[in-house]
Amino acid sequence: MSEPKGRRVGWTEESGERGTSERATRQADVSDRHEAERGALSETFVEVRPGLYRDSITLMRISRGLSEHDGVQDALTAMATGLNLDLLGQLGFTAPPDAGPNDLVVAIRAADEMALGTARDLLDSLLAETPAAAGLQDAEAPARTIGAAAARAAGGPAPPRLALVSVPGPHAFAEAMDALESGLNVMIFSDNVPVEQEIALKDAAAGRGLIVMGPDCGTAVVGGAGLGFANAVRPGPVGIVAASGTGAQQVMCLLDAAGVGVSHTLGVGGRDLSAEVSGRSTLQALAALGADPATELIVVVSKPPAPRVAGLIREAARRLTTPIVFAVLGDDGDVPGRAGDLTAAVAEVLSELGVPVPDWPCWPAPRPQRPRAGALRGLFAGGTLCAEALLIAADALGTVHSNLPGWTPGTTGHLMIDFGDDRLTQGRAHPMIDPSLRLDRLADELADPECAVVLLDVVLGHGAEPDPAARMAPLIGAAGDTAVVVSLCGTPHDPQGRDRQAEALRDAGAAVFASNAAAARHAVSLVEA
Amino acid sequence: MTLPEPGLGGLLTKDLTVVTAGTPLLAEALAEQAVPMVPVDWRPPAPGTEDALAAVMGDPRRAAANAKAVGRLLAARPRLVDVRPAGEVLGLESGTFLHAGPPITWDRASGPMRGALIGAMLLEELARTPEEAEKKLAAGHMVLDSCHHRRTVGPMAGVVSPSMWMFEVADGDRRAYCSLNEGLGKVLRYGAYGPDVIKRLRWMSEILGPVLRAAVREHGPVDLAAIMANALQMGDELHNRNRAATTLLCRELAADVAEAGFPQADLADVLRFIGGNDHFFLNLAMAAGKVSADAARNVPGSSLVVAMARNGTDFGIQVSGTGDRWFTAPAAVPDGLYLGSYGPRDANPDIGDSTITETTGTGGFAMAAAPAIVRFIGGEVPDALAATRRMYEITLAEHPVLQVPILSFRGTPTGIDITRVVRTGILPVVNTGIAGRVAGVGQVGAGLVSPPAEVFAAALDALAERVLRP
């Protein structure tokens, strides 16, 4: 404190460090009013910098910087307009007498001389600052909705035609509807979408000449691009309409093995042929494939449709000039061209096309597998592959327990377990992505003296785990007397490489089949009656 | 049974580009195959909104209703047609006061709102002293109503009393009104009611209003859309920066003011007053916004926001498909820069009808046109671009007239869709002045503020109740 209390120091010229063109004063701020307000004596500094201009926002930022400085009680940097000089007065500063709107005024009140000094240094550095050369960064953040993304890409060289929705089920409807309103077809990979939402989406799609694939659609191939879980198959004349993802994969892979390619595989979702959904997407898909010049034959892969829906499909099929083969699992009784199992359906397709049915690839176990007494345990990642094996096993062995819909679950005897069941995937990824649960069960079964044969599926392709044999083979190698049979769904061009996977599994001791039906029959044959 | 039309938008025959939303694994699988892809940065909406979102998204009327509503908003061509006293043009009776935001009572009113009402009482000579005014207001002797209920908008406190003069803005037969801007410093709209404030208001009623009336009538309708479009290209965003628009208005009306037939000193005062107030055009931008937004009201099934407004206590929105119902929640304190030593503690919660600008595609939504404004929150130019771009995520259209040069003359993001706000969690960005929380203090700063997220969720619930089931 250099000035005695009670005495106001008038305006003084400050010379030296700041140059003679600047007028400044230090005030010992002593009026009773301010003392009462501030509670203590303080050091005040008011300075005019004639002709110095900074925009009001810069000045507000500088004021804030000063106010936040340690020991500073009040600070104002502003152009000396009437308004700002009034504000200066309100803050308890004495306005300099001859400052005008083109002059910059600075006022600081600090707790002591030292704080005032450092605040003045800060002021100088803040006033000297020029804006950082941030430049114009033109990176646009990714779109936050499908509608926004579609709108952005709409004018571009490759306008989107399809949205792939895999958000959690309760949120899928909004994104899918947004996609349809943006003129996009939709594949809904998500499950847990209520059936009334599915119907609303499919009606909205039909009204726009679009298709909704799904919900719970795991597989599609459009113009050679695999969506979701899809195998790398050759292009060709067969169009597939699939209410079943792994069913479609099995058909595609067997066709590929026979040298026949696929034009498109359009998934429709597991409920599409139910009485409620009434084949809405199947009809869209049939019409589209029927009109597609690249498609010479259509395969419909599904569980048995509801009877009324079977009629609709039959009616639609009659109107198409493209021949249709139905690959329907189980007893449908009503659909034309019923093929029994998927491998048989593929054979029917081949004969329609005049292509000979090959011997389906298989990699026999290195040591002969012999029948023995005990239970068959099927551990599946693919629901349709599980269902197909179950039908074959139940036909041969009688009672088989399963968690598949319509079957009785159990823990003893012959079992067929679908690890893709929603109840087993809650809080974890699908077993084609995360195999841990199924591998744990495999180890348990191989240690179970009651278990004679384990039947596994291994589904390859885009989206599936990169090397499924790597973790499975060591368990199989330690299997002891229990026979292991693998249904391997894949093609040589899949990222995992079908033959490399088959050889690794075979070398570990398993019998490996490209046909799921053949694998199931072999497994059944290893159970001694 | 007829088969659906084949085609699927060229899905099977043309090159495939896929928009992906959800698990990155599936996008990676497409990338492995070199399939062109547009990934969406999807994030889950606020918990508990799924059902209402699904219901509203599933309303078969929605897409067409939104196209109709936003189409009406965009088609509006607001023109300034007259300047008249509120008593005459709104039929406002003595003792009735309009205010900004959703309806509010005296007991819940904030400092600046109370201050402005006190000032209006003094102006209308319904009280001789502030104390008497406050007593009468507190006793409930006066009628308070929302500006929006009378086709009116008001900045900050937005208090309108019968003797105040109003801009009358027309779009065809539709009308909207806003008071005349008082300038900066201690002004009624920030809750100041000292003698200077009242004196200025009297001058505005006695000289400014009549001169502008004469000038506008002489000039003929003033095309506000044209001025606004030009102003955006000159660095305004029309909420916190109206410098260019004010200048353009001056240029447009100067000759007619000169010929208004008033004493020369009065005409000079009028031009000096307008020329000295960078925000003079704000009130016209607001009335233009109001007349445009009102055109979009009451379209059944539409999720378009037709009003966002704050009364200093509550932030409220109205939605086209839910009529005149307000959805309100406590207003937030803006984040910004403060004048002098004022700080957030001195700030009143968000106040004013000026959010009608953001509602209609200007203000914060046009921030990219006015990079200077972004520094109010300590941001830089790229932040201004990002703010405008972010608003495209929650809006239905791009304005055909209001364009942003730096975004290659893209139209401003216009027409807030509550479903998109709830789906993305992106809230409208609002540029605003900050009023002191104590009546009479005036402006303490300026900055940015967001509406409370709950008002959009509440509006969505109400819209879901009105959904037409397919």
Instruction: For B339-352, write each residue's pLDDT tens digit.
Output: 888 988 999 999 99
Instruction: For A372-403, write each residue's pLDDT tens digit.
Output: 999 999 999 999 999 999 999 998 999 999 99
pLDDT band at B470 (very low <50, low <70, confident <90, very high): low
Question: 10 Å Cβ neighbour count for B196?
Answer: 12
A518, two tokens: 């053949």
Over 60: is that where the pLDDT of A23 sits? no
Separation of alpha carbons A458 and A512, rounded Å = 10
Closest to B391 in 3D by CA, of B410, B371, B364, B373: B364
pLDDT band at A157 (very low <50, low <70, confident <90, very high): confident
Instruction: For B13-71, write each residue's pLDDT tens digit.
Output: 888 999 999 988 889 899 999 999 999 999 889 989 999 999 999 999 999 999 999 99
Instruction: Report yes or no: B148 and B307 within 8 Å, Cβ to Cβ.
Output: yes
Q: What would the mean pLDDT of A437-450 be, rounded to a whole number?
A: 93
Separation of alpha carbons B326 and B316, rounded Å = 6
Over 60: is that where the pLDDT of A25 sits? no
B25/A433 CB distance under 8 A: yes
| Maximum pairwise Cα distance, chain B | 82
Instruction: For A466-482, write each residue's pLDDT tens digit.
Output: 999 999 999 999 888 89
Q: For B148, phi and psi rounded to 5 degrees? A: -60, -25
- In this prediction, what percent of chain B has a pLDDT beyond 90? 84
Q: List all residues 6 or more positions away from A528 whose beta carbon is below 8 Å from its beta carbon.
A: A371, A372, A373, A374, A452
Q: For B316, phi and psi rounded to 5 degrees? A: -125, 150
Instruction: For B404-433, write each residue's pLDDT tens digit.
Output: 999 999 999 999 999 999 999 999 999 888
Surface-to-core class of residue A443, CB atoms within 10 Å of its CB (0-12 exposed, 13-18 middle, 19+ buried): middle
Separation of alpha carbons A512 and A365, rounded Å = 7
pLDDT at B378: 60
β-bridge mates for residue A453, sequence order: A376, A483
Cα Rg, chain B, nearest whole Å: 23
Q: What would the mean pLDDT of B390-397 be, rounded to a whole number?
A: 96
Torsion, Cα of A43, A48, A53, A57 (10° steps): 30
Q: List all residues 6 or more positions away from A389 whose beta carbon is below 8 Å from its beta carbon.
A: A378, A380, A416, A455, A457, A487, A516, A517, A519, A520, A523
Chain A residue nearest residue B408, CA to CA: A138
A119, two tokens: 């605040």
pLDDT at B77: 96
Instruction: For B155-182, write each residue's pLDDT tens digit.
Output: 999 999 999 999 999 999 999 999 999 9
**Residue that wins the pLDDT comparison between B44 and A30:** B44
Enclosing H/E stretch for B356: helix B356-359
The helix/strand/coil state of A340 is strand
Question: 10 Å Cβ neighbour count for B51?
Answer: 13
pLDDT at A134: 41
- pTM of the shown model: 0.84
B25/A463 CB distance under 8 A: yes
Distance from CA of B10 to the nearest CA of A (A): 7
ipTM of the shown complex: 0.90
Instruction: Report yes or no: B164 and B180 within 8 Å, Cβ to Cβ.
Output: yes
Query: A169 at the B interface (CB within 8 A)?
Result: no
* Distances from the Cα of A512 to the Cα of A258, A391, A486, angstroms: 17, 20, 5
pLDDT at A453: 97
Euclidean distance between the first and final Cα of chain B, in Å? 20
Of the candidate ranges A220-234, A252-266, A396-410, A428-442, the one whose mean pLDDT is the lowest: A428-442
Specify the residue for token string 């491998």. A343
* The dihedral sign for the CA sequence A234, A240, A242, A247: negative
pLDDT at A31: 40
pLDDT at A65: 85
Of the candidate ranges A93-97, A137-141, B211-215, B437-441, the one whose mean pLDDT is the lowest: A137-141
Question: 10 Å Cβ neighbour count for A135?
Answer: 9
pLDDT band at A434 (very low <50, low <70, confident <90, very high): confident
The helix/strand/coil state of A7 is coil
Separation of alpha carbons A491 and A489, rounded Å = 7
Over 90: is that where the pLDDT of A33 sits? no
Please state at what angle helix B282-295 crosses helix B224-233, rounded to 10 degrees: 120
Over 90: is that where the pLDDT of B443 sits? no
Instruction: For A206-222, write each residue's pLDDT tens digit.
Output: 999 999 998 999 999 99
**Residue that wins the pLDDT comparison between B9 and A140:** B9
Q: Could you say which of B19, B27, B419 has the minimum Cβ distance to residue A179?
A: B19
Q: Could you say which of B4, B60, B341 has the minimum Cβ distance to residue A287?
A: B4
Instruction: For A75-121, write each residue's pLDDT tens digit.
Output: 888 888 887 888 888 888 888 888 887 788 999 999 998 899 999 99
* Distances from the Cα of A332 to the Cα of A250, A311, A335, angstroms: 20, 12, 6
Top residue of A34, A64, A137 to mutate, by most chain B CBs within 10 Å, is A64
**Residue that wins the pLDDT comparison between B397 and A156:** B397
pLDDT at B439: 82
- In this prediction, what percent of chain B has a pLDDT beyond 70? 98
Q: List all residues 6 or more positions away from B148 whose beta carbon is below 8 Å from its beta carbon.
A: B102, B290, B307, B309, B318, B353
Over 70: is that where the pLDDT of B312 sits? yes
A197/B54 CB distance under 8 A: yes
Sheet holding B314-319, edge to edge: B327-330, B314-319, B305-311, B351-352
Instruction: For A261-281, write each residue's pLDDT tens digit.
Output: 999 999 999 999 999 999 999
* Pairs of CB atoms within 8 A across A/B: 252
Separation of alpha carbons B289 and A206, rounded Å = 38
Instruction: For B117-135, write each residue's pLDDT tens digit.
Output: 999 999 999 999 999 999 9
Q: What would the mean pLDDT of A130-146 be, rounded to a whole number?
A: 66
Instruction: Report yes or no: B31 and A158 within 8 Å, Cβ to Cβ.
Output: no
Chain A residue nearest residue B444, CA to CA: A87
Separation of alpha carbons A320 and A287, rounded Å = 8
Chain A residue nearest residue B38, CA to CA: A149
On average, the pLDDT of chain A sits at 86
Instruction: For B136-147, write each residue's pLDDT tens digit.
Output: 999 999 999 999
**Residue that wins the pLDDT comparison between A70 and B470:** A70
Top residue of B5, B30, B33, B38 to mutate, by most chain A CBs within 10 Å, is B38
pLDDT band at A38 (very low <50, low <70, confident <90, very high): very low
Query: A123 at the B interface (CB within 8 A)?
Result: no
pLDDT at A26: 44
B450, two tokens: 């967001």
Separation of alpha carbons B115 and B97, rounded Å = 13
pLDDT band at A7 (very low <50, low <70, confident <90, very high): very low
Q: Which residues of A touch B375 (CB under 8 A)?
A: 57-58, 61
Separation of alpha carbons A99 and B91, rounded Å = 48
Of the candidate ranges A121-130, B210-219, B342-351, the one whose mean pLDDT is the lowest: A121-130
